[in-house]
Amino acid sequence: MPHITKRLTKWLFWVGITMFVSGVSFAVGNWTWYKTRTWSVVNKQIDLKAGSKFTQEFQVNIDENFLVMLEVDRDVPQDVAERVLGVGDFVSGSRTDLHGFKMRWAVLNNGIVVKKGISDGNGEGYWSRRKGRILGFFPAKKRQKYRLDLEVLDDGSGLNQYHPSLLVRVDIFTLDGYAIGEGLSELAGVAVAGFGLLLLAPVVPIWGWLVTRKTNHPRGAS
């Protein structure tokens, strides 16, 4: 019986340790992966007067579609947002007949154009802490270097006092999907680690009992 108890204790110990370490490693690994992805690679304030040009190089570490966006303060007057930014009011509904100042943009990889376009708003906006215009999107590959070229074709300086910024980042809904997946992976890892601790819980007193028994009754003692 003691021999069987000792074997069972060893089995529970190693299975418990394996599950605990594996669960923690899985959870930490997923959390680290999520936190180290380049979800946002460009966020720079720019001048929107006619003729202004902007160039920014960047690199990503995930295969995903990235959005190119122009963002201003949320408190920009509605008439300015419609007339200059080319984006309507979220509360009153989307208007696709809006046209603001034009911007030419292009994303290049090793001198080759990946995606390009001309944006005037056309009602393609978004609303969060700030208000923005979506210029377009492009497919990015990890470990690749890109360059974003932007040229302001019409005068958009009416937005300069509202801190216009150019952004390149993964779409927020796509990012939410990754966040949910990462959260579920963390929960799975914690669950496996917790089950490992449950297996280890009875091992300590049993192991202590075996050690005490061995000490009090050494092999060969009469």
* pLDDT one-digit tens code per residue, 125-178: 777 888 888 999 999 999 999 999 999 999 999 999 999 999 999 988 888 888
Whole-prediction pTM: 0.77
Whether 154 and 60 map to the same domain: the answer is yes
Distance of CA 185 to the CA centre of its chain: 15
Whether 186 and 92 map to the same domain: the answer is no
The CATH number given to whatever domain includes residue 94 is 2.60.120.790
Contacts of 137 (CB under 8 A, 6+ apart): 65, 66, 67, 68, 115, 171
Whether 186 and 110 map to the same domain: the answer is no
In a domain? residue 183: yes
Whether 18 and 101 map to the same domain: the answer is no
Confidence band for 222, pLDDT divided at 50, 70 and 90:
very low
Residue carrying structure tokens 């929107």: 48
Residue 179 belongs to what domain range? 1-36+171-202
CA distances in angstroms from 130 to 4, 163, 182, 194, listed in the order given: 67, 10, 27, 42
Whether 102 and 128 map to the same domain: the answer is yes
Whether 24 and 49 map to the same domain: the answer is no
* pLDDT tens digits, one per residue of 57-89: 999 999 999 999 999 998 888 888 888 888 876
In a domain? residue 77: yes
Whether 28 and 58 map to the same domain: the answer is no
Residue carrying structure tokens 């708003």: 121
pLDDT of residue 127: 78
Whether 198 and 178 map to the same domain: the answer is yes
CA 17, 23, 26, 28 torsion: positive or negative?
A: negative
Measured CA to CA, the distance from residue 119 to residue 100 in angstroms comes to: 9
Residue carrying structure tokens 């003691």: 2
pLDDT of residue 211: 53
Question: How do strand 40-45 and strand 165-170 relate by DSSP bridges?
Answer: antiparallel
Q: How many domains does the chain have?
A: 2
